[in-house]
Amino acid sequence: MKVATIVGARPQFIKLAPLSQKLRLKGKEVLIHTGQHYDYEMSRVFFDELGIPLPDYHLEVGSDSHAVQTGKMLIKIEEVLVKEKPDVVLVYGDTNSTLAGALVTAKLNIPIGHVEAGLRSFDRTMPEEINRVVSDHLSSFCFAPTQTAVDNLKEEGIENGVYLTGDVMYDAALNAIEIARGKSKILAQLGIKEKEYLLVTLHRAGNTDIFNNLASIVDALGDLNEQVIFPVHPRTRKALADSGLLSKLEDNPHLKIMTPVGYFDFLLLEYQAKKILTDSGGIQKEAYFFKVPCITLRENTEWVETVEDGWNILVGTNKDLIHQAVSGFNPDSHQRDVFGDGKASEKIVEILVDF
**Residues taking part in catalysis:** 203
Could you write out the three-class secondary structure of 49-81? HHCCCCCCEECCCCCCCHHHHHHHHHHHHHHHH
- The crossing angle, in degrees rounded to 10, of helices 344-354 and 10-23 is 60
Who's near 107: CB < 8 A, 6+ residues apart? 78
Other Cβ atoms less than 10 A from the Cβ of 155: the count is 10
Which has the closest alpha carbon to 198: 312, 276, 294, 278? 276
- The crossing angle, in degrees rounded to 10, of helices 96-107 and 66-84 is 50
Cα–Cα distance measured from residue 282 to residue 287, given in angstroms and rounded to the nearest whole number: 9
Cα angle 159, 163, 165 (rounded to 5 degrees) comes to 155
Which has the closest alpha carbon to 288: 300, 279, 276, 302? 276
Cα–Cα distance measured from residue 4 to residue 223, given in angstroms and rounded to the nearest whole number: 48
Cα–Cα distance measured from residue 284 to residue 270, given in angstroms and rounded to the nearest whole number: 10
Regarding beta strands 228-231 and 28-33, do their DSSP bridges make them parallel or antiparallel, or are they unpaired?
A: unpaired
What distance, in Å, lies between the first and last C-alpha atoms of the chain? 9
Q: Which helix (H) or strand (E) holds 91?
A: strand 88-92
